[in-house]
Amino acid sequence: MKVATHHLRCTECTTVIGKDEVSSNFRCPLCNGLYEVVYSWTNAAAGPDSRLPNPSALRWLWQERRSSTMPVDQSGVWRFRDLLPIVDDLEKVITLREGNTPLYDLPRCAKAAGIDWLLAKHQGMNPTGSFKDTGMTAALSVASQRGFEWVACASTGNTSAAMAAYAARAGLRSIVFIPEGKIAWGKLSQSMDYGALTIQLKTDFDGCVKILGELVKQFPIYLLNSVNPYRLEGQKTPAFELVEQMEWQVPEHVIVPGGNLANSSALAKGFAEMRELGLIPRTPKISIIQAEGANPLYRSLQENGGESLTPVVANTRATAIRIGNPASWRKAVNALRTTGGWCDQVSEQEIALAKAEIGAEGVGCEPASAVTLAGLKKLVAQGKISTEERVVLILTGHTLKDSAYTIDYHRNELFSDAEKAQLSPGEQLQHAALRKPPIVLDADPSLVLRTLESHMHQPQPA
Ligand code: F0G
């Protein structure tokens, strides 16, 4: 007889079901809530699980696996498999060697934000260029081992890129629903390159989710949006990796962008599990930053303390988080409450400035990721983060995901004249110092030399 390694628990009414009892839309039939994966050791009442190695053995094992040549050990998700026993056959997991992403220090961004030092966990350094890979390796492995032929998601571009890649590796067929004209080209090109059936719907992300919700009720398609709790099991692992990279020190703050609002709770789950197992003594405060034009969580917290959420019509150039009706908002409210973090919103100009500042450190990220630095500046200014506290920004996507945005910014074509007029003289100077538009010249050596000379006399930003 096989012993169940995990169960699913509704995050709202707490009903626990077996892993095979979940419906195709991953919603609780009693209250429409979303599920989370639970293990015997995530239930404090059950006491410590003697089958799990102790914290120091786990730390040793996870490091040791990095030097193994087995794909499952080289993956920065599956080397933590002791804390996500969700597949039956480890030899058949679908992996592109995701995870193991770098932790960079950003000294100039720290200075811009007014704190002593700042780190960025760059999830854009995953195989398809976003944090979604850590979730897809987990959920696609489950889909493949449960015998599904088709998988699908609605997406602002990164989920679809990741799903298409992992489905292709698994030999499964994938369907992508994306909002027409509202996603970055790099992301659209990925889902085509990886062979997905790509459907551009004449609606926004929220409209795509609605259509897909109808479809999964009628066809045997495995849903891979972040309502799928197995994705979040993969997405919790960067929390493990982060503290491992900090030699098991816990930062005071972790800041994430907020879109469909699943990642914040995935990371919160990772930190909570480590604390329960004695791997870390406390959890960091997780703060969520939204774009002003796509701020339903921020509004909900301002208006009613996160008790209810009114969807908004979303509009931001950070297309990854252009979401007005986020599926996992209750989970996000819970992550804020349990960790003690904050939610704030940032303007389009603040996002653009922060993105350029991260780029100027030689790191770079896509616009949605830059909300973290823009939000950090606000939290510092409000006295919620103090200068000596350790802060980690989660950079969710690679800069090449949306090169059109970057080029428009540097050519000073991103904003309308009316938007530019709203900037103070000081802000205009900040943007001007960061903007590096390409210089088009005739192929004349003396002209090139004169141009270079004029630039050499300009001071290098501190
Ligand atoms: N950053 C990037 C680069 C994203 O692609 C997303 C979400 C988020 C942040 C927000 O994460 O939804 O967990 O709050 N992108 C989804 C997609 C919705 O379809 O690719 P979240």
CB of 288 shorter than 6 A to ligand 1: no
Please report whether residue 87 resides in a domain. yes
| 337 lies in the same domain as 239 | yes
Containing H/E element for 263?
helix 263-276
pLDDT band with cut points at 50, 70 and 90 for residue 4: confident
| 316 lies in the same domain as 359 | yes
| 11 lies in the same domain as 119 | no
- pTM recorded for the entire structure: 0.96
| 311 lies in the same domain as 325 | yes
| 326 lies in the same domain as 369 | yes
CB of 123 shorter than 6 A to ligand 1: no
Tens of pLDDT, residues 105-121: 999 999 999 999 999 99
| 415 lies in the same domain as 443 | yes
Amino acid in position 219: F
Between CA 216 and CA 185 the distance in angstroms is 27
Please report whether residue 281 resides in a domain. yes
Contact 256, 373 (CB under 8 A): no
Q: What angle do CA 51, 53, 54 make, to 5 degrees?
A: 125
pLDDT band with cut points at 50, 70 and 90 for residue 457: confident
Q: Into how many domains does the chain fold?
A: 2
pLDDT band with cut points at 50, 70 and 90 for residue 1: very low
Phi (first) and psi of residue 30, to 5 degrees? -85, -40
Among 34, 52, 70, the domain boundary falls at 52
Tens of pLDDT, residues 245-295: 999 999 999 999 999 999 999 999 999 999 999 999 999 999 999 999 999
| 321 lies in the same domain as 356 | yes
Residue 268, both tokens: 């919160």
Pocket test for ligand 1, best of 121, 123, 125, 132 (most atoms within 8 A of CB): 132
Please report whether residue 135 resides in a domain. no
Q: How far does residue 451's CA lie from ligand 1's centre (Å)?
A: 42
In this prediction, residue 50 carries a pLDDT of 54
Please report whether residue 195 resides in a domain. no
| 89 lies in the same domain as 12 | no
| 352 lies in the same domain as 259 | yes
CB of 321 shorter than 6 A to ligand 1: yes
Q: How far does residue 73's CA lie from ligand 1's centre (Å)?
A: 26
% residues pLDDT > 90 (the chain): 93
CB of 135 shorter than 6 A to ligand 1: no
pLDDT band with cut points at 50, 70 and 90 for residue 455: confident
Residue 24, both tokens: 């195709």
In this prediction, residue 447 carries a pLDDT of 96
Average pLDDT taken over every residue of the chain: 95
| 22 lies in the same domain as 89 | no
pLDDT mean over 127-137: 98
pLDDT band with cut points at 50, 70 and 90 for residue 404: very high
pLDDT band with cut points at 50, 70 and 90 for residue 456: confident
Please choose, from the candidates 102, 79, 100, 104, the residue with its C-alpha nearest in 3D space to the C-alpha of residue 90.
Answer: 79
Ranking 33-42, 133-142, 185-194, 343-352 by mean pLDDT, the lowest is 33-42
pLDDT band with cut points at 50, 70 and 90 for residue 461: low
In this prediction, residue 212 carries a pLDDT of 96
| 436 lies in the same domain as 340 | yes
Domain span at residue 12 reads: 1-52
Between CA 313 and CA 207 the distance in angstroms is 11
In this prediction, residue 182 carries a pLDDT of 85
Which residue has a Cα nearest atom 15 of ligand 1?
Answer: 320
DSSP 3-state assignment of 336? helix
Residue 30, both tokens: 């009693």
| 448 lies in the same domain as 330 | yes
CB of 261 shorter than 6 A to ligand 1: yes
195, pLDDT greater than 70? yes
Residue that the structure tokens 């976003």 belong to: 130
Domain with residue 236: its CATH number is 3.40.50.1100
Q: How far does residue 320's CA lie from ligand 1's centre (Å)?
A: 5
3, pLDDT greater than 80? no
Which residue has a Cα nearest atom 12 of ligand 1?
Answer: 260
Tens of pLDDT, residues 94-109: 999 999 999 999 999 9
Residue 211, both tokens: 């259509």
pLDDT band with cut points at 50, 70 and 90 for residue 51: low
Please report whether residue 160 resides in a domain. no
Please report whether residue 371 resides in a domain. yes
Among 36, 52, 68, the domain boundary falls at 52
Please report whether residue 193 resides in a domain. no
Among 52, 78, 95, the domain boundary falls at 52
